[in-house]
Amino acid sequence: MSKTTIATKPIDGQKPGTSGLRQQTAVFMQPGYLENFVQSLFDAIDPAGKTLTLGGDGRYFNTEAIGTILRMAAANGVARVVVGQGGILSTPAASAVIRTRKTDGGIILSASHNPGGKDGDFGIKYNIPAGGPAPEAITSAIHERTTTISEYHILEEAAPDIAALGEATLGDMVVEVIDPVEIYADLMQSLFDFGAIRDLFASGFTMRFDAMHAVTGPYAKKILEGLLGAPEGTVMNATPLPDFGGGHPDPNPTYAKPLFDLMMSQDAPDFGAASDGDGDRNMIVGRGAYVTPSDSLAVLAANAHLAPGYADGLKGVARSMPTSRAADRVALKLGIGAHETPTGWKFFGTLLDAGLATICGEESAGTGSNHVREKDGLWAVLLWLNILAVRKQPVAEILAEHWAEFGRDYYSRHDYEGVDKPAAEALMADLRAALPELPGRKLAGLTVREADDFAYTDPVDGSRAAQQGIRIFFEEDARAVFRLSGTGTVGATLRLYVERFEPDPARHDLDAQKALAEVISAAGTLADIAGRTGRAGPDVIT
């Protein structure tokens, strides 16, 4: 074997964001860009003699990147790499493989829901042996290293073919190619009543799952159409494509519009769902009934005990701060803990490890549980299916009953994408500076009760995260949150999250935007969104 050491220089901007390092594909394909980051990662985790899991969402540059990482892993003394066949592993499946095979962490290649292709985005992140995204201490160490790196190690030999299952060697390292679906599908069968869901499909229940030409295609085909007997064609856009067919693989009413429109039409099947580029996000839609991610989390928490994997009840529920308080109401009733964390799945890791939470969720279409340490799109879909199989009611009815019991948290998120970065940062800085003067202020018929900049202390490891979003609480049981996205690659994305509680079942059928009109108007005025962004309205409403 011939190990080469190549001289390199630090490249600016290799700082992991909310979920790993994400950049435009062209940036990633520059000579040395991927190599610098991977060597910095190896320098931070000292991988000699270890076993790593490796896979990605199949987007453009996935295969080449896997080859480079394998050659660098071998040159850095890694003992074994467990890689998904064809370089494929959905993010939750990668987490499942890390945990089931007890590997010393793993590397996941994905830019999640961002478009792929030459003109799209690419990304890489490291997950720790528990299966979850690396915490801040590790990502900072990696970033720190990218600023001083002077060489990287790589094997001259080409990486082995990963198209077929089996083992090969690369230098002294073993490359083990596994079925990307098997471990994950086994895990799902251990959690859910596949018999009941099979009976549901056999009884004529209809469903469409939109894989958006992304990584969940093969997972959904095998599980829904294979193991659960859903008719062929249940999974739409099932073939993963390097550019996701030119689409934006983010499962929300805007980007999964064809499915959304179908679900709102006369021809709607009983149930609709979609997942994102790397399979960790989900969208749930009943016939004529869109379920917001915040409501989905609450309904899943209230009904999880109907699935065998959660029959003993939940230890607690956790949600990210901008997610609505609907899940908190369920936790209160169940007498279990409710945790509020900053945005980013990594913040749930310690709570899951410590047994403080069983189910977690975010408004950004992520839901999951302690079965892995990533959010899990298909898991959410299967838990919904398990609940539907037991309750035998339409989604709309389940939602209505839920709201009647707990009240409804009207909720919406408005995104202003690709905004001028300095302008967005100034908007946030000015809001932050104005916080002390806000209580008592009247806007659009609402009165500010309290306002702050969310800071979090992890109850398990004591780590602190500050400036995680500006929260404006109104006397009228409403809230507006301002935050800048941590996952974009161009300009800034301003997110405005609005919610308002409505206890009266007679008022649970309103259009969400109408029910939230005053909160939206108050927030818009407070931050002068139109003036600062130059936009008349948001680009995406979820």
Residues annotated catalytic, as ranges:
112
Q: Residues 280, 295, 374, 499: which binds Zn ion (CB under 5 A)?
A: 280
Q: Taking CB within 5 to 8 Å according to partner kind, which of Zn ion, ligand G6P, none is near residue 487?
A: ligand G6P
Q: Shortest gap between Cβ of 482 and ligand G6P (angstroms)?
A: 12
Q: Shortest gap between Cβ of 344 and ligand G6P (angstroms)?
A: 5
- CA–CA separation, 331 vs 318, rounded Å? 9
Alpha carbon 380 to its chain centroid, in Å, reads: 12
Contact code string over 108-127 relative to Zn ion, x by CB under 5 A: ----x---------------
- Total residues interacting with ligand G6P, rule: CB under 6 A: 14
Q: Shortest gap between Cβ of 410 and ligand G6P (angstroms)?
A: 20
Specify the pairing of strand 282-286 against strand 289-291.
antiparallel
Tokens of 235: 């999974």
Residue 216 as a binder of Zn ion (CB under 5 A): the answer is: no
Q: Residues 58, 123, 366, 377: which binds ligand G6P (CB under 6 A)?
A: 366
Contacting ligand G6P within 133-152 (CB under 6 A): none
User: Which uninterrupted H or E stretch holds 127?
Assistant: strand 121-127
> With respect to ligand G6P, which residue has the nearer C-beta, 33 or 345?
345
Q: Taking CB within 5 to 8 Å according to partner kind, which of ligand G6P, Zn ion, none is near residue 276?
A: Zn ion
Residue nearest ligand G6P, Cβ-based: 485
Q: Taking CB within 5 to 8 Å according to partner kind, which of ligand G6P, Zn ion, none is near residue 278?
A: Zn ion
Alpha carbon 368 to its chain centroid, in Å, reads: 9
Amino acid at 379: W
Residue 495 as a binder of ligand G6P (CB under 6 A): the answer is: yes
Choose the stretch contacting ligand G6P; rule: CB under 6 A; options: 38-46, 225-233, 297-305, 358-366: 358-366
Contacting ligand G6P within 302-341 (CB under 6 A): 320
Q: Residues 53, 63, 292, 485: which binds ligand G6P (CB under 6 A)?
A: 485
Q: Residues 25, 112, 139, 468: which binds ligand G6P (CB under 6 A)?
A: 112
- CA–CA separation, 201 vs 206, rounded Å? 7
Per-residue burial over 66-86, b = 16 or more CB atoms within 10 Å of its CB, e = otherwise: bbbbbbbbbbbbbbbbbbbbb
Handedness of CA 136, 137, 142, 145 (dihedral sign): positive
Specify the pairing of strand 106-109 against strand 470-474.
unpaired
Handedness of CA 12, 15, 18, 22 (dihedral sign): positive
Mapping DSSP to helix (H, G, I), strand (E, B) and coil, where does residue 199 land? Answer: helix
Give burial (CB, 10 Å; 0-12/13-18/19+) of 368: buried
Residues in contact with ligand G6P by CB under 6 A are: 18-19, 112, 320, 343-345, 362, 364, 366, 485-487, 495
Residues in contact with Zn ion by CB under 5 A are: 112, 276, 278, 280-281
